[in-house]
Amino acid sequence: MPSERRYVITLTCPDTTGIVARIAGFLAGAGGWIVEAGYHSDVDSGWFFTRQVVRADSLPFEVDELRRRFAEVAAELGGQATWTVTDTGVPKRAVLLVSKEMHCLHDLLGRVAAGELPVKLEAVIGNHDALEGVVRAHGVEFHHVPFPAGPDGKAAAFAEMGQMVDKYQPDAVVLARFMQILPPWLCERWAGRALNIHHSFLPSFVGARPYHQAHARGVKLIGATCHYVTADLDAGPIVEQDVIRVDHGDTVADMVRRGRDIERLVLARGLRWHLEDRVLVHGNKTVVFR
């Protein structure tokens, strides 16, 4: 990870000639040293996407001034332009939602401890308390929000959980094999911030027990998908996917065990890219500047 501080700029706007020149000119005019730059012109939609990383010490002003000035540049690109400017010196905040499945949680805790993810892990919230011990051993807060059976109980639990999460103003809400379907109002509130890991190669095997579905169909690869949560189950914008080979000798239990390796990796990669502002959502698709 870079130790020096950087500013990360992202921009999404309708494509037209001269955008790159406008942004590059603006940054060069301020003395900005660009260390990473990604561009994408989507010929189908006619939209333009970019992500630029500038060394903070190359600019003669702070991030707020950069935001103020970049807002002017973006304004020239039309009313549909959206943009972000973030400062790698200010760690992103994340909250994890978990149930009883521990492999993604363990993996993320280990990565945070090893300094692999640029994030402050604010809290873990579980609908069971089975994972409280390991979370606290990592010095992270754990909150237990039981999910009573029945729709009323769930609604109350989600209300409590929603308040709890929002208190941290997280940049990422990670459903680390949370196993509960978020209600539409939470999907809406956390739009573009809530990441789920689904244990299949979407769009195959939506919904419950995807490994059972995969086993029944006799596929030769199983996969996992990290996507933004939307009100449509398992249908949100895909951030990352990967697969692993299986064969006739793999039982459902083998697939469950082997699939965990892919779930861990895919969620960790998707979360990293999200935290590093590498993922730009447009419609139901993503541009990922890796």
Q: Out of 63, 81, 134, 140, point to the residue binding a second copy (CB under 8 A).
A: 134
- Asked if 287 interacts with a second copy (CB under 8 A), we say yes
Instruction: Show the 3-state SS of 81-128.
Output: CEEEEEECCCCEEEEEEECCCCHHHHHHHHHHHCCCCCEEEEEEEECC
Q: Where are the alpha helices (DSSP H) in the chain?
A: 19-29, 63-76, 103-113, 132-137, 151-167, 184-189, 210-217, 252-275
Burial of residue 247, with CB atoms counted within 10 A of its CB: 0-12 exposed, 13-18 middle, 19 or more buried: exposed
Query: Tokens 């935001």 belong to which residue?
Result: 67
Task: Report how far residue 34's alpha carbon sits from residue 25's, in angstroms, rounded to the nearest whole number.
Answer: 11
Report the catalytic residues: 234
Nearest residue (CB) to a second copy, 47 versus 158: 47
Residue type for position 218: G
150 binds a second copy (CB under 8 A): no
35 binds a second copy (CB under 8 A): yes
With H, G, I as helix, E, B as strand and everything else as coil, classify residue 175.
strand
Residue 211 sits at the vertex; the CA angle it makes with 234 and 123, to the nearest 5 degrees, is 55
**Residue 36 sits in the site that holds a second copy (CB under 8 A):** yes
Residues 200-229 close enough to bind a second copy by CB under 8 A = 201-205, 217-221, 223
Binding of a second copy by 130 (CB under 8 A): no
CB closer to a second copy, 51 vs 92:
51
Closer residue to a second copy (CB): 45 or 153 = 45
* Site track for a second copy across 66-95, x = CB under 8 A: ------------------------------
Give the shortest CB-277-to-a second copy separation in angstroms: 15
Q: Which of 14, 63, 67, 102 binds a second copy (CB under 8 A)?
A: 102
Is residue 109 near a second copy by the rule CB under 8 A? yes
| Residue 260 binds a second copy, judged by CB under 8 A | yes
Shortest Å distance, C-beta 213 to a second copy: 9
Q: Which stretch binds a second copy (CB under 8 A): 14-22, 67-75, 91-99, 140-148?
A: 14-22
User: Residue 74 corresponds to which amino acid?
Assistant: A
In the region spanning residues 240 to 259, those forming contacts with a second copy, defined by CB under 8 A, are: 240-243, 247-249, 251, 253, 257
Task: Judge whether 59 and 85 are in contact, CB under 8 Å.
Answer: no
Distance CA 136, CA 126 (A): 13
Query: Pick from 8, 9, 11, 27: which binds a second copy (CB under 8 A)?
Result: 27
* DSSP tag of 251: -
Q: Which of 60, 72, 80, 133 binds a second copy (CB under 8 A)?
A: 133
Q: How far is the CB of 193 from a second copy (least distance, A)?
A: 18
- CA 33, 36, 42: angle at the middle one, nearest 5? 125
- Answer for which of 14, 39, 164, 191 binds a second copy (CB under 8 A) is 39
